[in-house]
Amino acid sequence: MPSTPEFQQTVSKTASFSGTALHTGEKVTLKLHPAPVDHGIKFRRKDLQDEPTIDARIENLKTVERATTIGEGSVRVHTVEHVLGALSAMGVDNAIVEMDANEPPIGDGSAQAYVDLIKKAGVTAQEEPRKFFDVRDTMHVESKTGALIVLLPDDKFRISCTQAGPNNRFAQFLSMEVTPAGFEREIAPARTFVFYEDVKPLMDKNLIKGGSLENAIVVRGDAVLSKEPLRFVDEFVRHKILDIIGDLALVGRRIRGHVVAVKPGHAANADLARAITREQTRRSAVATPRTIPSGEGGLDIDQVMQILPHRFPFLMVDRIISFETETKCVGVKSVTINEPFFQGHFPGHPVMPGVMQVEAMAQVASILLFKLAKTTSRIGYFMSADEVKFRKPVLPGDTIFIHAELTKSRGERLAKAKCHCVVNDAIVSEAELMFTFLDK
């Protein structure tokens, strides 16, 4: 987990470049403008009346055949994935991409021209923290064409990609962490490639007028046809990684997770972006406090505070919802963004500290000890924690169900409790706690 806050970034000033549009073959000028915080990336069609803009969001995805097209109403922008990949990987969160045509200049078929443009414009930090999507549970998407993408929890944005052409020709693999420097060096120069059998029908229909060996590598049989030699022996898998970064930029948040992709394509990439957005929407929806039944035999906050000496900000139990037996109970704690620990843990990336979850477990276990001893004249001191595991991050808006069970009570002086915390039906942390009793 990062210990320094990450702030949103935009370009420092407007910069532009011109080139050829892939599908129409016409000249197009692309201008990159700074934009305010929480603006995201928007495309502006300067060539149309009223200069409409299109949000680079998955909700606006229209088609994924050969390239990624977004649109709002009747307005379209084609082939957005390379410019989005460059903006995302180079750390630009907010910008306006203005064009006087319906697609960006294709450049040499790589993201090099866009990286050069971003560097020309410069990148500036803004005052608001970045928004992240932290992968908690493994997610995956599959397509009929054989694409498989798995997304795993990770504290960095990583991509491990396997690419293979027809009959597994040019099978390639690369794994990397996506950083601006790594992207510029390893990914941005990788050009678009096509297998001859795939583009032949398009060329026959004259659908790729701007396409040439200047801006794509054509693979025919085992022969690689291109204007200049391959830039990397594994240039194809590198380009696939570029497309993944560009398509996932449509999520609108930075991803902390590991993408493991096998033969990915725009359709599968877009499916993953959709799945991430759905999960984000679900998380935002459950972030409203859940109503918890007071339940038979539970304790409300007043009763909890009669037993526990802890007070704000250190009282980590809102309510005991049930006692299953004398030695087993479940407490609940609603975690809000107002918890003092979120201010410093971490700015822009609030995660509940694991030690606070252990404290919550200890407090719920203490309530069991009190019930058993039937007196408040002695107090249980927390001595040790064993087998502590933090499995998933706990975030603002989560409701933690704290399960505690007394497993051993050795004589009068020592007690042991097995505890775990649950959020959204998944165990987020667990520990075995030892207590000793002392007279107050």
Interface stretch with Zn ion, choices 16-24, 242-250, 368-376, 428-436 (CB under 5 A): 242-250
Return the structure tokens found at 243. Answer: 């497309």
DSSP secondary structure letter of residue 376: S
Q: With H, G, I as helix, E, B as strand and everything else as coil, classify residue 109.
A: coil
Complex with Zn ion: residue 231 or 345, whichever CB lies closer: 231
345 noted as active-site residue: yes
In angstroms and rounded to an integer, the radius of gyration of the C-alpha atoms of the chain is 27
By CB under 5 A, residue 430 contacts Zn ion: no
Alpha carbon separation from 324 to 168, 185, 295, 352 (Å, rounded): 58, 59, 11, 27
Residues 404 and 364: beta-carbon distance below 8 Å = yes
Task: Sort residue 426 into left (φ over 0), alpha (ψ -120 to 50) or beta.
Answer: beta
Q: Nearest Cα to 86, choosing from 51, 61, 44, 123?
A: 123
Q: How far is the CB of 241 from Zn ion (least distance, A)?
A: 10
First-to-final CA distance of the chain: 40
By CB under 5 A, residue 247 contacts Zn ion: no
Q: How far is the CB of 137 from Zn ion (least distance, A)?
A: 29
Complex with Zn ion: residue 98 or 243, whichever CB lies closer: 243
Q: Which residue's C-beta sits nearest to Zn ion?
A: 243
Choosing from 239, 266, 403, 420, which is the catalytic residue?
266
Alpha carbon separation from 180 to 129, 135, 158, 186, 379 (Å, rounded): 18, 21, 12, 10, 54
Return the structure tokens found at 173. Answer: 């693999």
Binding characters for Zn ion, 6-45, by CB under 5 A (x = yes)? ----------------------------------------
Choosing from 39, 140, 310, 345, which is the catalytic residue?
345
CA 366-433-137 angle, to 5 degrees, is 105
Complex with Zn ion: residue 217 or 317, whichever CB lies closer: 217
23 noted as active-site residue: no
Complex with Zn ion: residue 35 or 187, whichever CB lies closer: 187
Q: How far is the CB of 225 from Zn ion (least distance, A)?
A: 18
Residue identified by tokens 């050795």 is 410
Instruction: For residue 102, give every residue at least 6 positions away whose Cβ sits within 8 Å of its Cβ, in sequence order, or none.
Output: 21, 24, 45, 47, 76, 77, 78
Cα separation, 253 vs 268, whole angstroms: 18
Interface stretch with Zn ion, choices 30-38, 240-248, 281-289, 376-384 (CB under 5 A): 240-248
Complex with Zn ion: residue 126 or 215, whichever CB lies closer: 215
Give the count of residues interacting with Zn ion (CB under 5 A): 2
Complex with Zn ion: residue 211 or 331, whichever CB lies closer: 211
Interface stretch with Zn ion, choices 43-51, 143-151, 243-251, 279-287 (CB under 5 A): 243-251
Complex with Zn ion: residue 192 or 357, whichever CB lies closer: 192
Q: How far is the CB of 210 from Zn ion (least distance, A)?
A: 14
Interface stretch with Zn ion, choices 205-213, 228-236, 241-249, 287-295 (CB under 5 A): 241-249
Q: How far is the CB of 67 from Zn ion (least distance, A)?
A: 7
Q: How far is the CB of 111 from Zn ion (least distance, A)?
A: 8
Interface stretch with Zn ion, choices 201-209, 238-246, 277-285, 340-348 (CB under 5 A): 238-246
Q: How far is the CB of 358 from Zn ion (least distance, A)?
A: 47
Alpha carbon separation from 126 to 39, 111, 350 (Å, rounded): 12, 25, 19
Instruction: For residue 342, give every residue at least 6 positions away whose Cβ sits within 8 Å of its Cβ, in sequence order, or none.
Output: 350, 352, 396
Q: Is the dihedral of CA 292, 295, 298, 302 positive or negative?
A: positive
Q: How far is the CB of 239 from Zn ion (least distance, A)?
A: 6
Complex with Zn ion: residue 243 or 359, whichever CB lies closer: 243
Residue 387 phi/psi, 5° resolution? 50, 40
By CB under 5 A, residue 243 contacts Zn ion: yes
Cα separation, 348 vs 343, whole angstroms: 9
Q: With H, G, I as helix, E, B as strand and everything else as coil, classify residue 250.
A: helix
List binders of Zn ion among 156-195 (CB under 5 A): 192
Stated as kind and residue range, the H or E segment containing 405 is strand 399-410
DSSP secondary structure letter of residue 171: -
Q: With H, G, I as helix, E, B as strand and everything else as coil, classify residue 254.
A: strand
Complex with Zn ion: residue 65 or 386, whichever CB lies closer: 65
List binders of Zn ion among 250-279 (CB under 5 A): none
Q: How far is the CB of 192 from Zn ion (least distance, A)?
A: 5
Residues 323 and 394: beta-carbon distance below 8 Å = no
What are the catalytic residues?
266, 345
Site of interaction with Zn ion (CB under 5 A): 192, 243
